[in-house]
Structure 1
Amino acid sequence: MPSPPAETSALQPQVLVVPLTAPVQWLILGWRDLLRCGCLSLAHGFFLAAFGLALMATAYQHFWLLAGAFSGFLVVAPVLATSLYAMSRAVEHGGTIGWQLLRDTWLSWQQSRFMESGGYWCLVRFGLLLALAGTGWVVTSAALITLLAPAPINAPLDFLRHVVLSRDNFLFETWLAMGGILAAPIFASSIVSMPLLLDRRSNLLMAVLTSWRVVLANPGPMALWAALIMTLVLISFATLMLGLIVLIPLLGHASWHAYRALVDASALPERPRAR
């Protein structure tokens, strides 16, 4: 794959300002893409729901680990949705939606040199960074709950009784605050980064900085977008992960439309679309 022109690094995507209710429109457009892509989209949700159920079954008696693991799962979700972005991109351009599109999307990193700033390796590097952040939160969460909880936390009821409802300490508030401190910059760094890296020949630093610029230019819509994501995720968790079958593809497709509404990247060279 040829390297992007040298002047590409000097080009900056234009950040757009959207109305407060824009996230609702992104969900509507994401739902339309979900219906268009059908089983291919739902397969992503089914796989991740199955992973969530397996995680719950494995760590049910170690809830201190389970809480951090699910939080870390949300951190790396933008990377796991890469092929959902690719499907929405194909729908937008009238392309073919099929298993070959998914295969080409996930294997495209092999076609670019490791040091090529505009190649698909930047998606891999960003994914590794998010995975590292997620792992760090799992370890931090587990250590915090294990060391500071007034009693052993081995099951969801233990967590509810000794952490959430405890009046003798501020462990739950501390846990939430630390999670927020980690989640806020990751959320700001990943709102449009992955779709931008998939769509245009951009380096990782530019994509992350563009994502931060989006947040600074649209604080209200971004706050609403984060609240909608968290609410829908909590509802899905309440359905024993079954809600993730629909939620994951819905949010993945909606995130593509968020990128398209928030960023004008036409100044950057377009990345070839997988066929």
Structure 2
Amino acid sequence: MRRTDQALQESRTFGVRPLPLLRPLGWLARGARDLAACPGPSLTQGLLLALAGAALIALVHQRFWLLAGAFSAFLLVAPVLATGFYALSRALERGEPHPGWTTVRQAWRPRGRLVRFGLLLALAGSGWVLTSAALITTLAPLPIRSPQDFLQHIVLDESGLLLFEAWLGLGALLAAPVFASSVVAIPLLLDREISVLGAVYTSWRVVLEHPAPVALWALLLLSLTLIGMATAMLGLVVILPLLGHASWHAYRDMVRSL
């Protein structure tokens, strides 16, 4: 109880700024500006993440039931993977000269709070992968080995099992609280001295006070990420840095010190 009270008190040291509905579009514009200012380290990180996605496809291309859950889990752990982008945007905001790989390396130095939160997100992602795989392999009428199988036997299934609806529902049930807990938590942990629980409480306050703009932001994150994946992962080289930089500006717009 004492730890919870302390975290609540920490969270109350930060205010939540008013947000117009379309503010997320401005975050994307500022993210594009930061990407243009630091193209080398930003695009290289995007390339590394895209290659990781391509490697995942190569490993499980005959097990699409596993791949579907794995890419969904990627969206859950993405806030941690974007740490380097946050650091670059923060350096640009502060007017630091020539932010680059040194800035990124310093951001990725082991930090207890970031590591703990990252492990929690990884655990949530792994749990969804296992749940998704169990649901599809147990209830699917035929083996699911390709996107075509998933589309035909899960999405367009007419047997009345409603397997796709159940899959989406379970995914949303897990993703919604994880997103609400992390939408500003990782950049806040990078930027300020605050506990993991205090950062999570702050993130929830942002979501509860501004559900419509945050919902639009979640839709933009999901849509652009899916577009990047649909381009044989090539689009992610640009889209992931764009979203990472924009997420820093989302945090800076939504959270203020009191």
Class of the TM-score when normalised by the shorter of the 2 chains: over 0.9
- Structure 1 residue 39, shift from structure 2 partner: 1.2
From 105, 116, 123, the equivalent of 1:103 is 105
Instruction: Flag the structure with higher helix content.
Output: 2
Matched, 1:50 2:59: no
TM superposition score normalised by structure 2: 0.94
- Taking only the aligned residue pairs, the percentage that are identical comes to 58
Matched, 1:206 2:198: yes
Corresponding position of 1:34: 35
Aligned alpha-carbon RMSD (Å): 1.5
Question: SS in structure 1 opposite 2:193?
Answer: coil
Q: In the alignment, residue 252 of structure 1 is paired with which amino acid?
A: G
- Structure 1 residue 206, shift from structure 2 partner: 0.8
Structure 2: unaligned runs, 5 residues or longer: 1-5
1:2-29: per-residue Cα shift (whole Å, max 9, x none)? xxxx9x8485211112000000000000
Greater Cα shift, 10-19 or 253-262: 10-19
Alpha-carbon distance in 2 for matches of 1:199, 1:22: 22
Equivalent runs, 1:89-128 vs 2, <5 Å: 89-95=90-96, 96-107=98-109, 109=110, 120-128=111-119
User: Cα–Cα, structure 1 residues 221 and 99, in superposed 2: closer, same or farther, change >3 Å?
Assistant: same
Counting matched residue pairs gives: 250
Corresponding position of 2:176: 184
Q: In the alignment, residue 70 of structure 2 is paired with which amino acid?
A: A
Moved over 6 A (4+): none
Alpha-carbon distance in 2 for matches of 1:147, 1:31: 43
User: Cα–Cα, structure 1 residues 257 and 158, in superposed 2: closer, same or farther, change >3 Å?
Assistant: same
CA contact (8 A) 2:83 2:186 kept: yes
TM superposition score normalised by structure 1: 0.88
Alpha-carbon distance in 2 for matches of 1:55, 1:220: 34
- Structure 1 residue 78, shift from structure 2 partner: 0.2
Question: SS in structure 2 opposite 1:14?
Answer: strand
From 195, 201, 222, the equivalent of 2:214 is 222
Alpha-carbon distance in 2 for matches of 1:227, 1:239: 19
CA contact (8 A) 1:45 1:249 kept: yes
